[in-house]
Structure 1
């Protein structure tokens, strides 16, 4: 319906604004009595040399009122009221027909490469890794909903000078049996010890650099240790991904690109882009510090490996977009990388996009692995699942499959607590906030879905085409929200902002719960099947919104 309004306004304005400009100006009135959609005329005042009030009156008079219940010019706004009976039938029957495909776009023959999660080998999967993991997974789901083929890449941090530190630490203080028994915990312990000792003995850093250089030169002992660290770490990470319901198409980490960096460096040389700087080699980029490609000792850096990775991914997938879901502290790195690829003459540099996000803070400070100030994601998930179990035992002790549903609810609480925030905002870690199962939480939406599922089950409802002649005014706010879902899905992908879906799901759940509080859905009258069909539509969209966020929707809670 909004598209029809935009076309009508475009015609009434006689080309003064185009489709996109009108779309950006349209507003949802704060109060229902002010219409279903409003168009402000203030930006046209200077162009048309008329007051907004006069423009509103003139344009409102040109609109085809037969398509709308009413069109009213009020104080520089045009308030438009839909013909509810037409819209209700159109919206709800479309959802009943399309089911989970509602809001999906037709498949396009194009890939979207999404680089996300990417934890460092031999370090714990902490709350600090949560943001990239759940934001990236949601963006992959949104890309697929918008018709693309999502290529999920876990660019593991399995290379770099930190492995030199870990090798030195292992040789000095490592216990193979202890590490085999509790790999991540023990590896973190000796990694933290290295940094503590290096403050007193700076020469340890020199030993670490030498150890990493040996690893780059395929020293047998160093390589064997590295493979072991990687293997035990991946086994631990896999447990977390399974709990979160996340999978990847590629686990190619930094080490995978070792033999691909030299060709990239040679290409930079051949194109005259590599410049010597105090023994190191850099590429100069505009309005930024030079991008360091190799150090004085010839060692490579993140930029070298990311350059090789980007070139490999282009050859392998030819994606329409490359998304790098990495914290905002790496913005300079990605700006430099993209600029280098552009200077190399690759047009696909325009398809590269850094998707930055804020940090998870603890007591207002960044969590630091090297200082041991870290909260393990597995511990947080265990605690939220345990709390969900206690709530189930208290409120619904006879519930079947309690263990599975507690996991859905506990894990969902953690995911939603992250994704309801705009990704650029920092999040203060608070276990109490995550475990609050009221208000703006994932469990609130899951419970709304479960409530509707219970109603539909009790009534033995079977979806099918319906004439919604007497559904009632109380359902209208939720129906308007149902109509917004396809556009929300599109905008969330275009803006790389899953919080739009999370906030949408909250609004829809609230709107339905207000309806439920006013109306007896199972009352045995002529409108009962219409109420059930409407409720079914809400359940379909809530379940799909939760799926896009990476959450499960239990039918019982």
Structure 2
């Protein structure tokens, strides 16, 4: 991994001076974000992260002084050509020829694995995760509210799989309607895949490019929820109110200041009881390290209670359960009015994109305009959704989402298609033994510096399960590639230079495609 080899080299020199093991320093050395001001270093070490007295009373000027002293003790070598002190940081600039050679070789060698092989993930244990997402009510049409759960859950699953974890994707259906009973039981008994595929829900997931390993539903846990109530009673956790409803006391002082209702007065179960049965069943079946539930933030209380009850029942693994919540989307309207169903959204995005493509000059070259419109339109929806914190509500705007310029999914798709056609135009040959040392222009260096940061961005997203880090990274990559595309022509340049530039653009496209796929976007090659 390109960034890793540079970080290791910097860490080994720092470890001698600071008398700290190199592995303790790796995560304190970060790639510097590309700046419009141009000349910036490639990596920086935060002094606060390696000094013991980095508490708030440690003045900024002390950190700056420490940075200067440390910078003076370090020496340039074959890897690092320049060392300087910043406000609380020591900055490292890599040998320019080595930067181009290492980064491009690594991207082209690793392909879709670029970034995920990073040393940053070496201490992260490979785990088995069950992720429950989408979870519509089959008795009703697929509501637009489920769109966020579906694309967020899909992103988390994609990211975990890319990082080497085992993932089981579960769609837990609210199925108090005959439709799912028939579909589920029929499929289990007769295994009729054609019937399953002919269901509109399955079709919607295939347009969205989402698959599930397991479909289960509330009715599967109807009987088991009675067993849960009996267990709660046996453990002395179930209390009855005057009205006869069953509750579990969740308060610390056992004064009922916080409780969860788990049974109706007629003895029947509730959502939470069936969720308890489902969680225990999944853990017994899959023995997973973590269980993640992806739903809107209005259900935060429900999951807090679910995990607390599991813990009271003696299931320590409840601490490894997680609720990833998201905010609400407002103002999603079609030309015909308020959007209720997902199929309306997909039809709208397709028709608007087709209209936009028809007014552009290049559309006649596209082989399948309908499919392209769908992929580009979905990219627009996903990027608009993923740009902020997942927990934030946001105001949806078709015009903003479908702009071809600016920070949109359409712009990402356009950049990918443009870079792909550049490769096609120039023979698409395997680039080997290219002299990339000639890539010294500021616009080329900016792309290379940005490619260095990809593993850190993946690491951040893996830690907080927020897609916004990757979205922001890909948008910047697209802008940098667009500028370089203008200033660093392949056509008409000397063969050696043309090959090197082609190599740079191919690397940018590969990373762009990898990141888009993690977000659940299928990159298009024509637009």
Which of the five TM-score ranges fits, normalised by the shorter chain?
0.7 to 0.9
2:384 pairs with 417, 423, 427, which one?
417
- Where do 1:352-363 residues align within 5 Å? 352-362=321-331
Summarize the Cα distance change of 1:373–1:336 in structure 2 as closer, same or farther, 3 Å threshold: farther
2:356 pairs with 391, 398, 419, which one?
391
What is the CA RMSD across the aligned residues, in angstroms?
A: 3.0
1:136 pairs with 140, 146, 153, which one?
153
1:303 pairs with 253, 272, 277, which one?
272
CA apart distance, 1:273: 2.0
- Where do 1:436-455 residues align within 5 Å? 436-455=403-422
Corresponding residue of 2:7: 2
CA apart distance, 1:411: 2.0
Corresponding residue of 1:549: 519
- Where do 1:156-235 residues align within 5 Å? 156-159=173-176, 227=181, 235=199
Corresponding residue of 2:191: none
The alignment partner of 2:453 has SS state of helix
CA apart distance, 1:479: 1.3
CA apart distance, 1:118: 0.7
Q: Can you give the 5+ residue segments of structure 2 that lack an aligned partner in the other structure?
A: 1-5, 187-194
2:163 and 2:29 map into 1 onto residues whose CA distance is 20
Corresponding residue of 2:85: 73
1:537 and 1:341 map into 2 onto residues whose CA distance is 48
Greater fraction helix: 1
1:409 and 1:136 map into 2 onto residues whose CA distance is 20
Corresponding residue of 1:471: 439
CA apart distance, 1:73: 1.8
1:345 aligns to 2:357 (yes or no): no
Corresponding residue of 1:263: 227
Summarize the Cα distance change of 1:268–1:80 in structure 2 as closer, same or farther, 3 Å threshold: same
Corresponding residue of 2:66: 55
Summarize the Cα distance change of 1:450–1:485 in structure 2 as closer, same or farther, 3 Å threshold: same
Corresponding residue of 1:182: none
1:373 and 1:295 map into 2 onto residues whose CA distance is 36
Number of residues of Structure 1 aligned to a counterpart in Structure 2: 487
Q: Can you give the 5+ residue segments of structure 1 that lack an aligned partner in the other structure?
A: 164-223
Would the aligned equivalents of 1:114 and 1:136 in 2 still touch at CA under 8 Å?
A: yes
CA apart distance, 1:502: 1.5
Residue-by-residue CA offset, 1:459-493 (whole Å, 9 max, x unaligned):
11323443421012321111122222233223212
2:504 and 2:94 map into 1 onto residues whose CA distance is 18
Residue-by-residue CA offset, 1:379-419 (whole Å, 9 max, x unaligned):
12212211222232222223222222122112221122212
Would the aligned equivalents of 1:463 and 1:536 in 2 still touch at CA under 8 Å?
A: no
Corresponding residue of 2:490: 521
Summarize the Cα distance change of 1:4–1:321 in structure 2 as closer, same or farther, 3 Å threshold: farther
1:118 and 1:75 map into 2 onto residues whose CA distance is 49
Would the aligned equivalents of 1:6 and 1:22 in 2 still touch at CA under 8 Å?
A: no
Corresponding residue of 1:185: none
Corresponding residue of 1:282: 247
CA apart distance, 1:38: 3.2
1:90 aligns to 2:102 (yes or no): yes
Summarize the Cα distance change of 1:108–1:522 in structure 2 as closer, same or farther, 3 Å threshold: farther
The alignment partner of 1:258 has SS state of helix
Residue-by-residue CA offset, 1:342-377 (whole Å, 9 max, x unaligned):
1222221121000011111239xxx9xxxx965322
Summarize the Cα distance change of 1:348–1:555 in structure 2 as closer, same or farther, 3 Å threshold: same
2:311 and 2:26 map into 1 onto residues whose CA distance is 31
CA apart distance, 1:236: 2.9
CA apart distance, 1:154: 0.7
TM-score (norm 1): 0.80
